[in-house]
A = this chain, B = another copy of it.
Amino acid sequence: MSEDVNARHADKRRKIKAARDKMMETKTEEKGLIMVHTGPGKGKSSSGFGMIMRCIAHGMPCAVVQFIKGNWETGEKTFLRERHAEECRFFVSGEGFTWETQDRERDIAAAQNGWTIAKEQILDPDIQFVMLDEINIALRYDYIDIDEVVDFLLHEKPRMTHVCLTGRNAKPELIEAADLVTEMTLVKHPFRDGVKAQKGVEL
């Protein structure tokens, strides 16, 4: 590489850094965020669990309420219950993905039970981050009332508490209420080619 290229590179970087530093000076507010991970792609729950890892690292007490998964052993449940139970509370309210069950009343009761637990954890002053895993599926089928959830998040959630809600097909009311919404889009998936769900990746 010529010195010229490197000099131009350094100059460009310096300008970008200056612009970024100036922009970051305006980012001063701290508040608990309402975060939504939705879309048909992968990584909605995984990235929530990645944030749980960060919370544990920072000594921030946190909680997970799983709304739909529950029938099978997931890696994250094993990991958090067996290894980090003092730092992260872990609740399961559902009974497997909705297509595994055939009893609507039981699904509704499980979802309502999960929402009761969720509210308790969010209101608990000891807890700084709550992940409501796959709650969007329960909301989509109206097993939990979307207006009640949005009203609670906007008006009863303690100001500094973060809440992360995951699951595809997030309702528009929730997206409207959220501070941060990420949509995971599927570009390519190995299921198409006959590859099954594998430990570490999906389970």
Copies in the complex: 2
Which one, A21-29, A111-119, A150-158, is touching chain B? A21-29
Q: Which of A183-203 contact B (CB under 8 A)?
A: 183-191, 193-201, 203
**B contact residues around A78 at 8 Å (CB):** 57-58
Contact assessment for B42 and A180 in the assembled complex, using a CB-CB cutoff below 8 Å: yes
Contact assessment for A43 and B184 in the assembled complex, using a CB-CB cutoff below 8 Å: yes
Contact assessment for A43 and B53 in the assembled complex, using a CB-CB cutoff below 8 Å: no
Contact assessment for A104 and B53 in the assembled complex, using a CB-CB cutoff below 8 Å: no
Given known A-B contacts A104-B9, A187-B175, A200 and B48 have beta carbons under 8 A apart? no
A148 CB-CB contact with B under 8 Å: no
Contact assessment for A57 and B43 in the assembled complex, using a CB-CB cutoff below 8 Å: no
**B contact residues around A175 at 8 Å (CB):** 187-188
For this complex, into which size category does the number of interface residues on chain A fall?
Answer: 35 or more
Contact assessment for A26 and B194 in the assembled complex, using a CB-CB cutoff below 8 Å: yes
User: Which residue in B37, B53, B179 is a CB contact (below 8 Å) of A49?
Assistant: B53
Q: What's the Cα separation between A100 and B13 when bound, in Å?
A: 7
A171 CB-CB contact with B under 8 Å: no
Q: What's the Cα separation between A49 and B190 when bound, in Å?
A: 20
Residues of A participating in the B interface, judged by any CB pair closer than 8 Å: 1, 5-6, 9-10, 13-14, 16-17, 20, 24, 26-31, 33, 35-37, 39, 41-58, 60, 62, 74-76, 78-79, 83, 98-105, 108, 128-129, 162, 175, 178-191, 193-201, 203
| Sampled A-B contacts (27; CB under 8 Å) | A10-B102, A16-B99, A17-B99, A27-B195, A27-B196, A28-B196, A29-B193, A29-B196, A30-B195, A41-B182, A41-B183, A45-B50, A46-B49, A48-B50, A52-B53, A53-B75, A53-B76, A54-B199, A58-B75, A60-B199, A60-B200, A128-B200, A179-B195, A180-B188, A180-B190, A183-B185, A184-B185
